[in-house]
């Protein structure tokens, strides 16, 4: 297999035209050799493309704790196939690459500091407050101690926001060796943002936070949930942002209007 720098893994339950547009945008944006693994959660994707692998998810669970596991199905499969990637780029299917070089930016950060196991935007204050309620924390910590057969558990103060994140090969191989990616761990004891952050620090790595939504988003990562604050229209934000999440939740703008705008730029270098 040719040298691969970046493995992009995306779990989706969207229709094929969304997946096709995402794959085109990922290829256009990456400046290093990339392999793409799409974990299809609806068994509706029947198209094939070189360098893009479509896997049918082994689970049909649709819970916050299962989203990250679906991504891990794709990562575990890539490791089993012997793909020589250096970094995993995890994207939600509504996180649209809108600029070039996101892969190079992340690779440089991970190569400069081997202690980083997780790179992305910090989860918002509301989510952290909800996760930090004593009853929630006690439940999650009890579950983590059982899962990992330890008597004590120390949870990190801050969590990553999972929609766009980057993981070096060293940590995903460690996760795989330790059984974290195994099908028996299909339903995590806490939401995937929390679990990924906790496990990163449990194994001795650190998280690298690049801004925090909704009020401190720093280029090149624009990534935020919908809720009380809607994402800005990507066509109106700084050109320094290279990815936008979520294009589905921009106020008064449809997803396909945004997708067509950037598809024209990718294909023709201008708007038609």
Residue 59 domain-assigned?
A: yes
pLDDT digits (tens, 9 = 90+) for 57-97: 776 555 555 566 788 889 999 999 999 999 999 999 999 99
Cα separations in angstroms, 197 against 108, 144, 154, 206, 256: 21, 13, 12, 9, 33
Cis peptide preceding 220, ω within 30 of 0: yes
CATH number of the domain that residue 193 is part of: 3.90.550.10
* Per-residue confidence (pLDDT) for residue 143, from 0 to 100: 66
Residue 183 domain-assigned?
A: yes
Residue 43 domain-assigned?
A: yes
Taking the chain (272 residues) in runs of 10, the rounded mean pLDDT of each run is 84 86 96 92 64 77 60 90 95 95 97 97 67 58 66 73 94 87 65 80 92 90 81 95 95 95 90 52
Cα separations in angstroms, 21 against 45, 73, 172, 174: 13, 22, 27, 32
Give, as one character, the DSSP assignment of residue 49. Answer: B
Reported pTM:
0.88
Residue 224 domain-assigned?
A: yes
pLDDT digits (tens, 9 = 90+) for 50-60: 668 988 777 65
Residue 1 domain-assigned?
A: no
Residue 141 domain-assigned?
A: yes
Enclosing domain of residue 85: 6-268
Q: How many domains does the chain have?
A: 1
Residue 187 domain-assigned?
A: yes
């Amino acid at each position: 297999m040719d040298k691969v720098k970046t493995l992009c893994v995306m779990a989706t339950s969207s229709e094929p035209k969304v997946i096709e547009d995402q794959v085109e945008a990922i290829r256009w944006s990456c400046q290093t050799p990339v392999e793409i693994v799409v974990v299809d959660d609806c068994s509706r994707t029947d198209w094939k493309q070189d360098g893009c692998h479509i896997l049918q998810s082994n689970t049909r669970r649709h819970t916050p704790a299962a989203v990250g596991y679906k991504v891990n199905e794709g990562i575990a499969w890539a490791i089993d196939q012997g793909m020589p990637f250096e970094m995993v780029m995890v994207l939600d299917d509504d996180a649209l690459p809108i600029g070039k070089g996101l892969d190079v930016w992340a690779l440089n950060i991970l190569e400069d500091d081997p202690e980083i196991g997780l790179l992305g935007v910090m989860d918002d204050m509301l989510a952290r407050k909800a996760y930090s309620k004593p009853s929630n924390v006690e439940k999650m910590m009890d579950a983590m101690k059982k899962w990992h057969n330890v008597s004590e558990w120390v949870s990190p103060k801050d969590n990553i926001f999972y929609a766009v994140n980057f993981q070096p090969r060293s940590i995903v191989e460690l996760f795989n060796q330790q059984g974290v990616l195994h099908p028996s761990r299909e339903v995590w004891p806490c939401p995937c943002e929390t679990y990924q952050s906790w496990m990163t620090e449990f194994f001795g790595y650190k998280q690298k936070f690049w801004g925090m939504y909704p009020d401190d988003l720093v280029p090149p990562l624009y990534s935020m949930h919908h809720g009380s604050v809607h994402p800005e229209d990507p066509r109106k934000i700084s050109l320094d942002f290279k990815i936008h999440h979520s294009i589905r939740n921009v106020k008064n703008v449809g997803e396909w209007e945004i997708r067509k705008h950037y598809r024209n730029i990718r294909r023709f270098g201008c708007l038609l």
